[in-house]
Amino acid sequence: MADRGRSTLITGIGELTTNDDELGRMRDAAVVVEGDAIAWVGGAADAPAADERVDVGGRAVLPGWVDSHTHLVFAGDRTAEFEARMAGQAYAAGGIAQTVAATRAASDTALAANLDRLADEALRGGTTALETKTGYGLTIADELRSARIAAGRADAVTFLGAHLVPPGWADDGADADAYVDLVAGDMLAAVAPHVDAVDVFCERGAFDEPQSRRVLEAARARGLALRVHGNQLGPGPGVRLAVELGALSVDHVAFLDDEEVALLAESWHGGRGTVATVLPACDLSTRMPLAPARRLLDAGAVVAIATNCNPGTSYTTSMAFCVATAVLQMGLSIEEAVRAATLGGAVALDRDAPRIAADGRALLPLGRIRPGARADLQVLDAPSITHLAYRPGVPLVHAVWRAGSPVVGARPIP
């Protein structure tokens, strides 16, 4: 084992979910964490010595959640809109404008504090890696400060200048196209050094196919990864565009025909394809059909589960809620749902293998418990992952390690 720092032996693991094809799901297991990485995984009887030991008392251990789709740089609250929706009003993308106004009016300190509050809430719920997006600024200055606030607070930052044609620009004809020119031109140029990827809300009421393509092609020309919000509110061109342009993920995917499901599956033939990211809490909160995760998996697509935490359509950081919904309502097995919410998210962020960041830092892979991976683990107050769906709504997190540091629970044995 390479010496990366202080080592901790975690024993008493009743059930270990590794997401590793060879290690699989183990009983009576032990894990050694060294510095920020996993150094060893095996049977409890074979465990090597370490600097300290933590016994988790027969509980289940699994990778920390990888939440690959959130919108955490915002201010304000949309309770009234939520209440109206529960009373029967349909969700429309126009609600985004309310958050844009509140975000523009907020100080950097207030935006950072809100992001920290939500990231901390997520961490206490077992989320050890998260992506977040800009998209509530929609001017060069407000998108730039959103990206700067997110960088360093999230594992991945996505530029979403194409979230909505903002107030002050007519949302049709020449004005919308002029806004797209700004997003694909000066706004992208300003924000690019601070982000990993570029996303577009490709939907009726937001951006059409040619407009979305323009932004994504400009991002690709700068070497940035691509994402698409697609097929959320109805059938649309998002999935086809995402696959054609080699996007890392297309997210929402609630309205898919058989051809689109097949396209997503085929995108993985012969290389890295496009992850279909399902957002069950958003589907419920907008009273939309649940995305067809079962059909996607049966066809051979790669699926991720994420929260889409934002103040409009999905105000939750709970990956456990999303996993339980995927099992109870979307027809996934608990193993499939946990894999989609951990390794699936890592694949959607292109973080399932070691990578070198733009600033030269070596990034450890996420989403698996195996030697060499970032030591991101959660311990459930339960004997197996099945309890995540069997006991929905119950806060089951007992302890969390993030990059080797015990951030929730986890007391060493003296």
Residue count of the chain, please give it.
414
Q: Supply 35's token pair.
A: 């510095």
Q: Which is nearer to ligand NIG, 219 or 397 (CB)?
A: 219
Q: Supply 401's token pair.
A: 């390690």
Q: Which is nearer to ligand NIG, 18 or 308 (CB)?
A: 308
Q: Which is nearer to ligand NIG, 99 or 127 (CB)?
A: 99
Q: How many other CB atoms sit within 10 Å of the CB of residue 181?
A: 15
Picking from 388, 414, 409, 413, the residue whose alpha carbon sits closest to that of residue 398 is 409
Q: Which is nearer to ligand NIG, 74 or 401 (CB)?
A: 74
**Angstrom distance (rounded) from CA 24 to CA 345:** 18
Least Å distance between CB 132 and ligand NIG? 12
Transcribe 199-260 into DSSP letters: EEEESTTSB-HHHHHHHHHHHHHTT-EEEEEESSSSS-SHHHHHHHTT-SEEEE--S--HHH
Q: Which is nearer to ligand NIG, 311 or 404 (CB)?
A: 311
Least Å distance between CB 186 and ligand NIG? 23
Amino acid at 261: V
Per DSSP, the three-state class of 59 is: strand
Least Å distance between CB 71 and ligand NIG? 6
Residue 226 near residue 219, CB atoms below 8 Å: yes
What sign has the CA pseudo-torsion 388, 282, 160, 340? positive
According to DSSP, residue 351 is labeled -
Least Å distance between CB 317 and ligand NIG? 14
Residues forming the site for ligand NIG (CB under 6 A): 71, 95-96, 99, 201, 229, 232, 282, 308, 310, 312-313
Q: Which is nearer to ligand NIG, 11 or 318 (CB)?
A: 318
Q: How many other CB atoms sit within 10 Å of the CB of residue 206?
A: 24
Q: Which is nearer to ligand NIG, 163 or 398 (CB)?
A: 163
Residue number with the smallest Cβ distance to ligand NIG: 312
Least Å distance between CB 59 and ligand NIG? 34
Least Å distance between CB 243 and ligand NIG? 19
Residue 193 near residue 214, CB atoms below 8 Å: no
Q: Which is nearer to ligand NIG, 15 or 67 (CB)?
A: 67
Helix ranges (DSSP H) in 269-317: 280-285, 293-299
Q: Which is nearer to ligand NIG, 11 or 231 (CB)?
A: 231
Residue 18 near residue 25, CB atoms below 8 Å: yes
Least Å distance between CB 185 and ligand NIG? 22
Q: Which is nearer to ligand NIG, 18 or 314 (CB)?
A: 314
Q: Which is nearer to ligand NIG, 229 or 374 (CB)?
A: 229
Least Å distance between CB 96 and ligand NIG? 4
166 contacts: CB under 8 Å, gap ≥ 6: 97, 100, 138, 139, 179
Least Å distance between CB 207 and ligand NIG? 11
Least Å distance between CB 95 and ligand NIG? 5
**Angstrom distance (rounded) from CA 375 to CA 370:** 9
Whole-number Cα distances in Å, 88 to 42, 78, 110, 291: 53, 16, 33, 20
**Angstrom distance (rounded) from CA 334 to CA 332:** 6
Cβ burial, residue 146 (10 Å; 0-12/13-18/19+): buried
Least Å distance between CB 343 and ligand NIG? 22
Strands, E, within 45-196: which ranges? 52-63, 65-67, 127-133, 156-162
